[in-house]
Structure 1
Amino acid sequence: MNIREEIEQREAMFLSPQAALSLNSKGRERQEEADAVRTCFMLDRDRVVHSKSFRRLKHKTQVFIAPPGDHYRSRLTHTLEVAQIARTIGTGLNLNLDLIEAMALAHDVGHTPFAHAGEQVLNELLPGGFRHNENSIRVLTRIEQHKDRNGLNLTREVLDGVLHHSGYGEGEARAFTLEGQVIRLSDKIAYVQHDIDDSIRAGVLRVEEIPGQFLEVLGTTHSQRIATLVIDTIANTRNMIEKGVIKVEPSPEIESALKGLREFMFENIYRGPVCKAERVRAAFIIEHLFEYYCKHPAKMSPLYAQIAEEEGLQTAVADYISGMSDAYCVSQFQDLYVPQSLVPDARKDLPTGS
């Protein structure tokens, strides 16, 4: 028996009956030989961490575009906060933490530069629309490369969790694993709370402006609200499972407060004057880049030229732009559209001291 098989046996012995076991995975699109040490979900996590799309998250906007200061969240720090919250909930429910971590680290690799501003622009430009959760699946199955083949060939459990992490409406489809449902909720817990923190730091929100009825339920500080949501979710989900209701969910009062706080943030911050002004500028850049690359597809890297031939030019351009970091997107725009002198600097040829 090798190490992976020992880990799979431990999962079967000690994890919750509702947990997704590595041994029972629905598998990958392309069958692979099993690793001697890592389970299938551990492999998925490692492939995501080592991917270029994951590394680019450190230079992608979470809420505010290129804010001054070192302490604002990026898309990468958001991803890590989601992973931390989800692992805590998963531990409390005795679920598969390797699967949770793989989903958490992968869930936002399809996000555009300039946060939801970039997503909205591409959604308007593409005939079929653009949604970042679906694009994350595209990145993981088509754009990233593994062993010279398209996609990272992740398990169906991870891909399903990534696909269903977005949205928070009634009646929406849920991930088929409880681990995937943990990611969906943890995403909301993370971004609502840390976006409040960043908004206060940016001076566009004061604690006094947050509706008191939500703070009374969840807590007045960042850590109190996260603790309330995590502890309540664990307790309420355990209670529901004992009654035969297999889903991850906070209690009604706590969930109502979270949704109310989320809607408050949408109305006052995400759709507020600061983000709106940033969105106009971001849209201008992305629209012009989209038009340029549609006219000059040869300027994209070979992978996207291949996609253009196989799936259409607009799809390839959207893939190319959505993968850009904020800084690279701006630099491309500057190189293409901002006038620059092409006259050589004659001073470089002068003797020292001239």
Structure 2
Amino acid sequence: MNVREKIQNFESLTLIKEAAFSKNSIGRKIREEDDDIRTCYMLDRDRIIQSKSFRRLKHKTQVYIKTFGDHYRTRLTHTLEVSQVARNIGAGIGLNENLIEAIALGHDLGHVAFAHNGEEVLNEYLEDGFRHNEQSVRVVTKLENNGQGLNLTEEVINGILNHSGLGSVKDIITLEGIVVKFSDKMAYLNHDIDDSIRAGLLSKEEIPREIVKVFGDTSNERLNVLIKDFIKKSNDNLNNGVKEIGLSPEISEAMTELRQFMFKNIYLGDTLKVERNKAKFVLNQLIKHFEENPYEMPDIYVSIAKNEGLKRGVADYVAGMSDDYCLSLFNKIFIPKFVID
């Protein structure tokens, strides 16, 4: 018996029957030999961590554009916090933590530079629109590994595709994927409040009192309430034969209200409007430039432009850029250089 088989046996002893067991995975689009040490979900996790797209997350904005403070979240630290929250929930319910981790680490690989501002630009640019969750799937199935993709399991791809929003979970094929979907919102609402207070754009006193009564007044309190409620409600359902996991109605309603508050006052509020417009200007100029000069793009995007259309190639290239690379490229292309005689 090799190490992978021992891990799979351990799964059968420790996970609940509703969990996603690695030995029962739907599998990959391109069949591969099993690894001697890692389960299929562990292998997926490793491929995501070792990808270029994952490394670029460290220079992609979470909410605050080009913040120089060391303690503001980036898309990478957000991803790690989602993984932390999701794995804690998974352990509390008895789900497959390796699958949870793989989905969580890959869920935002398709996010554009400058947070949702970049997504809005590409959504207007492409005729069929642009959604970062779909782009994340495109990254892992097509763009990574020099155009070969990462050949991940269907369970991980499905979880990545369906992580966005707070809507229906009917298209998510594993409970682990549902955990990541909720954990994403728990993580970003919590840490975006923290960052907003740090930036002086929000005070604790501005958060509606009815929400504070439910979640408490600190980062730790908010996460504890959300995680513990999700575990308790989910375990109650599963123990009563109901294969549904999620938050209790009271906590779910409070989280929705908090999300609406943050969208109104921070994400889409007037406070960051000037910076959002600057970011959109930079991206629109780069898009226009590469539409006019497609052969300046790397070969993989030139190939996509030929086979799938110019806009698709340009969108894939721009979507993969980090904030720093966008600004550096913008300066290189559009900012005059000083010449000294």
TM-score bracket relative to the smaller structure: over 0.9
Match of 1:337 in 2: 334
Match of 1:121 in 2: 121
Map 1:68-107 → 2, pairs under 5 A: 68-107=68-107
Task: Tell me, yes or no, if structure 1 residue 20 matches structure 2 residue 20.
Answer: yes
Inter-partner Cα distance in structure 2 for 1:54 and 1:244: 38
Inter-partner Cα distance in structure 2 for 1:150 and 1:174: 26
Map 1:90-169 → 2, pairs under 5 A: 90-145=90-145, 150-169=148-167
Inter-partner Cα distance in structure 1 for 2:58 and 2:271: 22
Q: Deviations over 1:125-171 (max 9, x none)?
A: 110100000000000001001xx6610000000000001110113x4
SS in structure 1 at match of 2:304: helix
Map 1:163-312 → 2, pairs under 5 A: 163-169=161-167, 171=168, 173-312=170-309
Contact 1:174–1:181, Cα closer than 8 Å, also in 2:
no
Q: Deviations over 1:56-107 (max 9, x none)?
A: 0000000010123110000000000000000000000010010000011000
Inter-partner Cα distance in structure 2 for 1:105 and 1:221: 25
Inter-partner Cα distance in structure 1 for 2:16 and 2:238: 11
Contact 2:290–2:314, Cα closer than 8 Å, also in 1:
yes
> CA RMSD for the aligned pairs?
1.1
Give TM-score scaled by structure 1 length.
0.94
Contact 1:89–1:233, Cα closer than 8 Å, also in 2:
yes
User: Which amino acid in structure 2 is aligned with residue 77 of structure 1?
Assistant: T
Contact 2:147–2:300, Cα closer than 8 Å, also in 1:
no
Contact 2:169–2:178, Cα closer than 8 Å, also in 1:
no
**TM-superposed deviation, 1:245:** 2.1
Match of 1:349 in 2: none
Listed as ranges, the gaps of 5+ residues in structure 2 are none
How many residue pairs are counted as aligned between the two chains?
A: 341
SS in structure 2 at match of 1:144: helix
Inter-partner Cα distance in structure 1 for 2:126 and 2:247: 36
Inter-partner Cα distance in structure 1 for 2:240 and 2:13: 23
User: Which amino acid in structure 2 is aligned with residue 90 of structure 1?
Assistant: G
Contact 1:293–1:317, Cα closer than 8 Å, also in 2:
yes
Listed as ranges, the gaps of 5+ residues in structure 1 are 347-354
Distance 1:174 1:211, change over 3 A: farther
Give TM-score scaled by structure 2 length.
0.98
Identity of aligned residues (%): 53
Q: Deviations over 1:2-52 (max 9, x none)?
A: 111111111122211011000000000000011010000000000000000
Inter-partner Cα distance in structure 2 for 1:125 and 1:321: 11
